[in-house]
Chains A and B, each alone.
Chain A
């Protein structure tokens, strides 16, 4: 049923630290690698080695420049995937019941054998989290690696989403955002985790941690070191040599 559950037992989701992300795109690649070979249809590419390559990705990293009213601009790398919204507009528009939000953990999934590829859910998502696979004609989206997190056949440290497992900077965190004792909950409390486009009323589960304010760098005189080529303060052997040669 594409009606949304009134509440979910858990709210599994990601917390993404915009202060730490270095924009390496490793999460993009590991997501594609894991999800093209597991749950559902592969994530196809079109014209991958040609002039206009294009393909299905469940996670993408944008890079923004933020210019404060005063002081230097700052670069912020911004990974974006499904936010597993509590009030997910993509689920209710689905005419076939292929899209659903799980009552047990809040993950938003697509049952691909029911998907007719109408694309309405992708229209309804304000975040661009859903992409229609051009080869398969079904909607693809982040599954929160549902086939890893409950998979007891893989080592325990791998039982987290692929993007979280791979992030070399530790900018991605996974956990239950409904549990006040969880690490992700505390992280959101401590760092002022925020929602994306709250005005859309989607109540995203995933949170973003804002970049910490940068230190004010000291005034740097770019030409200073080049202009101040003085030997006055030289001491020791070189000082003696300098003074002696100066007298000649």
Chain B
């Protein structure tokens, strides 16, 4: 509710209510700080030279902030024996995330549309089974998936990882689009059928233009899930094809004598930035998409 709407509502005014209000905001403030603290420590540590970290405390502000750890984390820190920073792995992640998100989202949209607007015998059962896919723990699919990728000749490649994420993501993307399209009146589809449009004609020209809220929700969800994934990344890629999350882990683990906390923190920030950007740019639409029914059952 916006402040304007609250404004007109009559509220009791007394000393007690004022005190309660102050206490309320104080508690909220403490919680906000609690959640922001790790991020603050991360950012501050990443900006400090190594000497300052050793002498100062965790919470002290950087005296002479430097971007040097950022740059080192980006293109010269050592991940295992390869000292090119996170850069190549971030590109790996992008090469993996973009096709996975696009393919799984588009297939999910087609699935959701077919399951709601072209009901066929067993559609409910198929949806139920797909939904079940959303609850299968990652660990369960590791071995069969590794075997499948091996048979397909995709073991250890980014393409293989794209396949894994696309298949695993279908359960979620189908769910989102199914829940969105189910709220669209069947009459619209019937009208389009009478107007002479076919399955894909209706999909591309009537349904997709209505679905941006569902797209935003799905893309954000899929992007965050796939970018942040560690388990599939570490299980199905090797060395040079690792995504950023796995590389980050390896970077932190590769110690060459001195532990460079500032570089570690900077690398963590680099690995986290894309999801943050997506939230900042599209978060507004995410909430709107939720309200538009993309997530409600």
The answer on A and B forming one complex is no
Q: Which residues of B contact A (CB under 8 A)?
A: none
Q: Which residues of A contact B (CB under 8 A)?
A: none
